[in-house]
Amino acid sequence: MTAYLLVIALVLMLSIAIGLVRVAIGPTPSDRMMAAQLMGTSGIGVVLLLAQVVEVGGLVDVALIFALLAAVAVTAFTRRRANEREAKG
Amino acid sequence: MTTTLLAAFDILLSLTLLALAAAALTSAEPRRAVILFIAFGLVLALVWARLRAPDLALAEAAIGAGLSGALLLAATRRAKAHTKEGASGSPEGQP
Amino acid sequence: MTIAEGLSFGLLGAGAFFFMAGSVGLIRLPDRFTRLHALTKADNVGLGLIVLGLMPLAADVREALKLGLIWILVVIAGATGAHLIAKRALRGDGEDAQ
């Protein structure tokens, strides 16, 4: 079972590597952010599988932080510049 | 079997990390560099998790990728707005 | 192999398949909205299947519930993020093509 879990983790790692290609080539910032989101989700999967394999306590909490990070990054990315200008006066 | 798979996993992880670092450093456009930096933080957190250091992975994911990523994104947006509005003045401009 | 192990065997395989399909879609599909479509499938269904597959292997009920909580968080974050990105792309601000 451990070997199978590692194979799945390897597939997810491959998905992160593919996401890296899309982050690098773009072409628009939205594409880059989407690929970063996919990398985050695949990262959660990898951490959860690793937590099952290496049996270190607390790895599941890392996955929890990854989930929150995705939301923060996307929100920071999509904030409008227009609102900011109004707020500045 | 398990060791081979773990080795393959480690190699793929390291290569991804190095590729991300190189891409982020050589990027000309600021926002592209910032998004690559966020992705780099994610993969670095995975490396810490693989090295059995969940505390470091937590700190890297929350501070390294999350907080500084969001701050850097806001900074690039402001820098861009600033250079657009203050085109008459010096491009570096005072805040 | 017990029934629980067989179940997680199949579910994990299906989850990995969804992740692979999502990332191939992210590379191959022609524009941002179709790519967003591929991304959300990988995000929600792929991770959902992985979490469901890991639940039978969890040490106790508390760990299993924690896995479920992570998935719910990802679904909420993923849906919100997809809407925000799509709105931003439709509005067209900040999309300086290079």
Of residues A64 and A57, more confidently modeled:
A64
The percentage of chain A sitting over the pLDDT mark of 70, rounded to a whole number, equals: 89
Does A86 score more than 50 pLDDT?
no
pLDDT tens digits, residue range B16-36?
Answer: 999 999 998 998 888 888 889
Q: Given this model, what pLDDT does residue B86 score? A: 54
Q: Given this model, what pLDDT does residue C49 score? A: 92
Inter-chain residue contact A65 with B32, CB threshold 8 Å: no
Residue A81's pLDDT band (cuts 50, 70, 90): low
CA distance B60 to B67: 10
Does C98 score more than 50 pLDDT?
no
Q: Given this model, what pLDDT does residue C95 score? A: 55
| SS3 category, C58 | coil
Q: Given this model, what pLDDT does residue B91 score? A: 47
Query: How much is the average pLDDT of A12-33?
Result: 86
ipTM above 0.90, yes or no: no
Q: Given this model, what pLDDT does residue A52 score? A: 87
Closest residue of chain A to C48, computed from CA coordinates? A45
| SS3 category, B14 | helix
Does B66 score more than 70 pLDDT?
yes
Q: Given this model, what pLDDT does residue B44 score? A: 92
Of residues B81 and A73, more confidently modeled:
A73
Closest residue of chain C to A62, computed from CA coordinates? C70
Contact status, residue C95 vs residue C86, Cβ threshold 8 Å: no
Contact status, residue B65 vs residue B43, Cβ threshold 8 Å: no
Nearest CA-CA partner of A62 in C62, B21, B51, B14 = B51
Count of C-beta atoms within a 10 Å radius of residue A37: 29
Dihedral through CA B6, CA B9, CA B15, CA B16, nearest 10?
-150
Place of tokens 């491009």: B91
Of residues A89 and B45, more confidently modeled:
B45
Does C65 score more than 80 pLDDT?
yes
CA distance B54 to A50: 11
| Residue B8 counted as domain residue | no
CA distance B76 to B68: 12
| Residue B93 counted as domain residue | no
Chain A contact partners (≥3 CB pairs within 8 A)? B, C
CB-nearest to A62 from B15, B31, B57 is: B57
Q: Given this model, what pLDDT does residue B47 score? A: 92
Q: How far is C95 from chain A (nearest CA, A)?
A: 6
Domain count, chain B: 1
Does B90 score more than 50 pLDDT?
no
Inter-chain residue contact A23 with B36, CB threshold 8 Å: yes
Task: Give the count of Cβ contacts less than 8 A between chain A and C.
Answer: 136
| Residue B91 counted as domain residue | no
pLDDT tens digits, residue range C6-38?
Answer: 888 899 999 999 999 988 888 888 888 888 888
Nearest CA-CA partner of B42 in C83, C16, A38, C72 = A38
| Residue B38 counted as domain residue | yes
| Residue B31 counted as domain residue | yes
Does B61 score more than 80 pLDDT?
yes
| Residue B49 counted as domain residue | yes
- Tell me which amino acid residue B27 is: S
Residue C97's pLDDT band (cuts 50, 70, 90): very low
Contact status, residue A42 vs residue A70, Cβ threshold 8 Å: no
Does A7 score more than 80 pLDDT?
yes
| Residues of C in Cβ contact (< 8 Å) with A82 | 93
Alpha helices in chain C (DSSP H): 3-28, 32-41, 47-54, 61-91
The domain containing residue B73 runs over which residues? Answer: 14-82
| Residue B95 counted as domain residue | no
